């Protein structure tokens, strides 16, 4: 099993070695449904083969020198009875396959969603959201369609190929020749057809993913698009992606149009008719036998015609399974370390010769890896500093100096490449991941709020919080007054990503969310950058109160916040340039003075 930050234990396991085994491991857990489908498919084909036999018997009863009405009635009764049973068995087969397809879709979606939540940020950094959504929605749906109608028709039609081979020799042994030749030719033609179809369906799925990814980016960045008046450019980009998808779909259609079994069926029917007439003219078989035999040959029409779309559906489903498995099987360097350290955190933090560089995402989805990801300059190099429990430390430096990166190593959003990050003297990699992150809160400049109520967003890290606790956290973050200005108060829906709120309001809700969980370590990553000057003093007092008896890591350019830090760490191009207090660094650190020369 691949490493994971978060693991859901299912009451089933899957074989992820390849798409076929993975799909089979899902399907075989539903043995009763499979038995219903198999029984229904075999019964359907067998009773379909009985239809021409009863029809042939009826012909013989009528065209004979002395018509036999009793035999005709018996044939008609058996025909009606067999087809009634066939209808019931076919209903069971179709019902079972539809349920099986829906279960496959449900379980796959659950497995994929849990897998995505368990991947590290190194995995998600370069993964286009639109393509992930295409895999999680459209590709998963393709798996259900692969089962019903895809595999349902493929398996059912396979039995229609077998029945003429079994029944035709009972009329006359030589009549097996045409069905046998057709079955062999059909198998060879389908093998070549599927070999051409597989890359075509894979290109269709890939093109759809690229189309969806481009659309998602344009919608998410619509404000930027409009602000730069680039609507026409984005339309052309979308048209390019849509054209690629259309061309891939048309290419698949061309392959399907060259479907040789249709020609083989016509040849087989002509050959069978000629052969049966020869036997009839030689008085070897009766006219009813000719009718029955041609009815058996007509059974080949079902697998030929359904193969036009059922095999394409199965091929598309397998291509979708490969895309889904690429996400599920992708390795991630982080794991939840369930047996790791789980003690109550005091808040001591130490960086010891830390080096870190951003990598491409894990194997399994190489097509999404950024080029030359491993040749990038280290984001942090030989970084060492320490923070005592309860201290407030400010990380300062120019943009790109590595401040946010350092903060994300503390709660293992990323893992170091070299060196150690210690919390309470324990390497963060030796902590139980849930215990580590549950005692650390990080508030970033780009605040993410869910499309839920204000109360639910504040209580996100503590879902069982009482309304009184939520309100207290909001008051501490100076958010209560603006929350109550809304007609629905704490039950106000904030909209997608909280865009109905101002930047300052979103950041105060994020502060309230952090205050509620009462973390041992609080990381504020430029979290007050969007707060207006009138509110800054109030927020400053709230932060000062929140930092009491709590380790606080400040990443900010506000001199008013930096000055009251117990320690300041100056980062420059990923390295520690200086460590000290504000007064000390102003005297001896040119790098620090250059940052605040404007003050």
Counting Cα atoms < 13 Å in the Cβ hemisphere of 307 gives 25
Cα 184 from Cα 480, distance rounded (Å): 77
- The tokens describing 463, both together, are 């879902």
In contact, 61 and 69? CB cutoff 8 Å: yes
What string of pLDDT tens digits covers the 599 residues of the chain?
556 666 666 677 888 888 999 999 999 999 999 999 999 999 999 999 999 999 998 988 888 767 788 888 998 999 999 999 999 999 999 999 999 999 999 999 988 888 888 777 767 777 777 788 888 888 899 899 999 888 998 998 889 999 999 999 999 999 999 999 999 999 999 899 888 888 888 898 889 888 888 887 787 777 677 777 788 888 888 899 999 999 999 998 898 888 888 899 999 999 999 999 999 999 999 999 999 999 999 999 999 988 888 888 888 889 889 989 988 887 666 777 888 899 899 999 999 999 998 875 444 455 555 444 454 678 899 999 999 998 999 999 888 888 989 998 998 888 899 999 999 999 999 999 889 988 998 887 777 888 889 999 999 888 889 999 999 988 888 889 889 999 999 999 887 666 678 777 887 888 888 888 888 999 888 766 555 566 666 667 667 766 777 899 988 877 777 887 889 999 988 999 999 988 888 888 888 888 766 54
At residue 373, the pLDDT reads: 47
In contact, 358 and 533? CB cutoff 8 Å: no
At residue 376, the pLDDT reads: 60
The rounded Cα 362 to chain-centroid distance in angstroms is 15
Enumerate domains of the chain plus CATH numbers: 19-328 (1.20.1560.10), 449-518 (3.40.50.300)
At residue 363, the pLDDT reads: 41
Nearest residue to 496 (alpha-carbon basis) of 506, 484, 486:
506
pTM to 2 decimals? 0.72
In contact, 403 and 395? CB cutoff 8 Å: yes
The rounded Cα 137 to chain-centroid distance in angstroms is 7
At residue 530, the pLDDT reads: 52
Cα 599 from Cα 561, distance rounded (Å): 13
Nearest residue to 362 (alpha-carbon basis) of 6, 124, 132, 114:
124
Structural element, H or E, at residue 72 = helix 69-118
- The tokens describing 81, both together, are 């009875």
Cα 257 from Cα 382, distance rounded (Å): 62
For strand 551-555 and strand 380-387, is the pairing parallel, antiparallel, or unpaired? Answer: unpaired
In contact, 424 and 343? CB cutoff 8 Å: yes
């Amino acid at each position: 099993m691949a490493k994971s930050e978060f693991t859901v234990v299912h009451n089933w396991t899957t074989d992820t070695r390849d798409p076929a085994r993975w799909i089979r491991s899902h399907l075989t857990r539903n043995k009763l449904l499979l038995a219903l489908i198999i029984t229904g498919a075999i019964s359907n084909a067998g009773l379909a083969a009985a239809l021409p036999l009863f029809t042939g018997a009826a012909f013989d009863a009528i065209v004979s020198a002395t018509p036999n009405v009793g035999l005709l009635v018996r044939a008609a009764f058996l025909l009606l009875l067999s087809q009634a049973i066939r209808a019931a068995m076919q209903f069971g087969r179709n019902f079972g396959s539809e349920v099986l397809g829906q279960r496959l879709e449900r379980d796959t979606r659950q497995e994929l969603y849990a897998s995505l939540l368990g991947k590290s940020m190194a995995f998600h950094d370069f993964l286009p959201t639109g393509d992930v959504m295409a895999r999680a929605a459209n590709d998963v749906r393709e798996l259900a369609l692969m089962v019903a109608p895809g595999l349902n028709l493929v398996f059912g039609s396979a039995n229609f190929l077998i029945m003429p081979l079994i029944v035709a020799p009972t009329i006359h042994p030589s009549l097996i020749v045409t069905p046998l030749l057709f079955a062999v030719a059909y198998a060879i033609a389908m093998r070549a057809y599927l070999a051409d179809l597989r890359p075509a369906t894979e290109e269709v799925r890939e093109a759809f993913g690229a189309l969806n990814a481009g659309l998602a980016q344009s919608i998410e960045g619509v404000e930027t698009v409009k602000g730069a008046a680039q609507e026409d450019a984005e339309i052309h980009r979308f048209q390019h992606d849509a054209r690629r998808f259309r061309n891939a779909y048309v290419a698949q259609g061309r392959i399907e149009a060259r479907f040789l079994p249709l020609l083989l069926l016509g040849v087989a029917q002509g050959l069978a008719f000629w052969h049966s007439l020869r036997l009839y003219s030689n008085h070897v078989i009766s006219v009813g036998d000719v009718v029955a035999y041609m009815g058996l040959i007509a059974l080949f029409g079902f697998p030929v015609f359904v193969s036009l779309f059922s095999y394409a559906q199965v091929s598309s489903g397998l291509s979708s399974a490969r895309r889904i498995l690429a996400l599920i099987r992708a390795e991630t360097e982080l794991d939840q370390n369930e047996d790791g350290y789980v003690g109550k955190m005091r808040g001591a933090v130490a960086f010891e010769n830390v080096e870190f560089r951003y990598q491409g995402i894990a194997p399994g989805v190489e097509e999404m890896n950024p080029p030359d990801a491993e040749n990038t300059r280290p984001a942090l190099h030989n970084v060492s500093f320490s923070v005592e429990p309860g201290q407030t430390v400010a990380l300062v430096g120019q943009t790109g100096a590595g401040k946010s990166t350092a903060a994300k190593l503390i709660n293992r959003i990323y893992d170091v490449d070299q060196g150690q990050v210690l919390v309470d003297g324990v390497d963060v990699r030796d902590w139980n991941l849930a215990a580590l992150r549950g005692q650390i809160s990080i508030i970033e400049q780009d605040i993410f709020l869910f499309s839920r109520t204000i109360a639910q967003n504040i209580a996100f890290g503590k879902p069982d919080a009482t309304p009184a606790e939520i309100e207290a956290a909001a008051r501490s973050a100076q958010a209560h007054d603006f929350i109550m200005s809304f007609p629905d108060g704490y039950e106000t829906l904030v909209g997608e990503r909280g865009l109905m709120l101002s930047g300052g309001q979103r950041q105060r809700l994020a502060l309230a969310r952090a205050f509620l969980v009462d973390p041992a370590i609080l990381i504020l990553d430029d979290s007050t950058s969007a707060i207006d000057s009138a509110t800054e003093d109030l927020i400053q007092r709230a932060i000062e109160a929140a930092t009491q008896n709590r380790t606080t890591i400040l990443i900010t350019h506000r001199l008013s916040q930096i000055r009251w830090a117990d320690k300041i760490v100056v980062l420059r191009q990923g390295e520690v340039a200086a460590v000290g207090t504000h007064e000390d660094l102003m005297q001896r650190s040119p790098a620090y003075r250059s940052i605040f020369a404007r003050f």
